[in-house]
Amino acid sequence: MTEQEIKKGLAGVVVDTTAVSKVVQETNSLTYRGYPVQELAANCSFEEVAYLIWHGELPTPEQLAEFTAKERSQRAIDQQLIDLVRSMPEDCHPMHVVQTAVAYLGGVDPEAEVETPEANQAKAERLYAQLPTIVAIDHRRRHGLDPVAPTEDLGYAANFFKMVFDEVPAEEVVRCFDVSMILYAEHSFNASTFTARVITSTTSDMYSAVAGAVGALKGPLHGGANEAVMAMLEEVGTADRASAWIDQALSEKKKIMGFGHRVYKNGDSRVPTMRKAFEDMVRAKGADDLLNLYNTFEEDFVGRKGIYPNLDYPSGPAYHLMGFDTPQFTPIFVMSRITGWTAHIMEQQASNALIRPLSAYNGPEQREVPVKNG
Ligand code: CMC
């Protein structure tokens, strides 16, 4: 096999079909079940989008009422899981906590190995309802705080803020969070979704596939970029330092976090929507210095390299302004992407073929093992 025939990173390779979302490289657009993401973000709640991703259609008011009531009723987690989260080392990355919690939920679910569509839909909806509770407990315990129990009186986003901060912030903040959840929910065969599909293709269970996907999302070239963006902006500090910082980073051949994309080469269609929600929040919170740094850095880097921001560029500073600890940004991404992952897991199960590519061997030719004397 020649070098040209090997598609490093599977770049440009079409692996399977999917009806969950469509990425159009030429127009940099993204649709979920046929609807453009920016229109969904302008007109829907995350709960409606979660329903759409799983069921293929937006819910009627009755379907939405039933769906949200079920989500609200499943938010609480058992005491053993609370204790498990609180027993993890305080300096471990929160994605390890999320991965451990998902594995635990698989271990205690008597239907973990039941692979019917109904059983898997029920598992997906429980993970969607319980991941925010897990992330919130982990966030609080790192500040020496006890858990705040979920409440059925609040919507998905407001309840999450209540569980983390024991209060619900201004409307712009809740809306910005909800928009981020909608934009992060699904993205075709990205690395973590593909990981989930690979695991599913072996006929392993949904929890195992999700735990694997959490591991893939953690990396800074994928979901971990939203944390890395904030760490980078904090290191740069102020807008007047952006240019010199970029000079130095590029001279050291560093990747600039939150910029570039494997598929979108002329901009990510999710960015204008997230950026607008971030700006609305900046206005509400009066964080002009951060916005100035954000704009100056972007203008400078795009001007030099023609490499555009991806969704992680506006979402990192947005989560920072909301008050979340930087290492919790990727677990928040998990809370959203659980919808896309589980839709893909069920799609893979419905039409499975073991995913097992080939490799071109470039090690030593076959040789004999030396015979040991005596
Ligand atoms: N900073 C500096 N140079 C870059 C960047 C960047 N962020 N992105 C691409 N390039 C350069 C790269 O060095 C290469 O240059 P050359 O041809 O001179 O070697 C060229 O652009 C092509 O890059 P590539 O790495 O071959 O492109 P890719 O499609 O493999 O990489 C990427 C895509 C996302 C891994 C990369 O753009 C990157 O590392 N970005 C920073 C991390 C990031 O923001 N990740 C989030 C991705 S989107 C959300 C998600 O998936 O969760």
Question: Which segments within the chain are labelled E, that is strand?
Answer: 21-24, 29-32, 35-36
> Residue 347's pLDDT band (boundaries 50, 70, 90)?
very high
Residue 1: what pLDDT? 63
Residue 250: what pLDDT? 96
Task: Find the mean pLDDT for residues 155-184.
Answer: 97
pLDDT, one tens digit per residue, over 197-253 is 999 999 999 999 999 999 999 999 999 999 999 999 999 999 999 999 999 999 999
Cα distances from 362 to residues 5, 109, 291, 357, in angstroms, run: 14, 44, 49, 16
Å from CA of 341 to ligand 1 middle: 23
Q: 34 in helix, strand or coil?
A: coil
Strand ranges of the sheet holding 21-24, from the earlier edge strand across to the other edge: 21-24, 29-32, 35-36
Task: Find the mean pLDDT for residues 91-107.
Answer: 98
Active-site residue identified among 222, 261, 320, 344: 261
Residue 26: what pLDDT? 82
Å from CA of 323 to ligand 1 middle: 28
Residue 3: what pLDDT? 64
Asked if the model's pLDDT at residue 4 lies above 80, the reply is no
Instruction: For residue 247, give the amino acid letter.
Output: D
Residue 373: what pLDDT? 84
Mutation test of ligand 1: which of 180, 192, 262 has the most ligand atoms closer than 8 Å to its C-beta?
262
Å from CA of 259 to ligand 1 middle: 7
| Cα 82 to Cα 61: distance, rounded to the nearest angstrom | 34
Q: Which of 242-251, 346-355, 365-374 has the lowest mean pLDDT?
A: 365-374
Mutation test of ligand 1: which of 221, 253, 265, 333 has the most ligand atoms closer than 8 Å to its C-beta?
221
| Cα 351 to Cα 339: distance, rounded to the nearest angstrom | 19
| Cα 58 to Cα 47: distance, rounded to the nearest angstrom | 10
Phi, psi of 93 (to 5 degrees): -65, 135
| Cα 207 to Cα 88: distance, rounded to the nearest angstrom | 20
Residue 101: what pLDDT? 98
Nearest alpha carbon, ligand 1 atom 41 = 257
Mutation test of ligand 1: which of 255, 298, 315 has the most ligand atoms closer than 8 Å to its C-beta?
255
pLDDT, one tens digit per residue, over 36-66 is 999 999 999 999 999 999 999 999 999 999 9
pTM: 0.96
CB-based contacts of 231: which residues, under 8 Å, 6+ apart? 257, 326
Nearest alpha carbon, ligand 1 atom 34 = 261
- Is residue 261 part of the annotated active site? The answer reads yes
Task: Find the mean pLDDT for residues 295-302.
Answer: 97
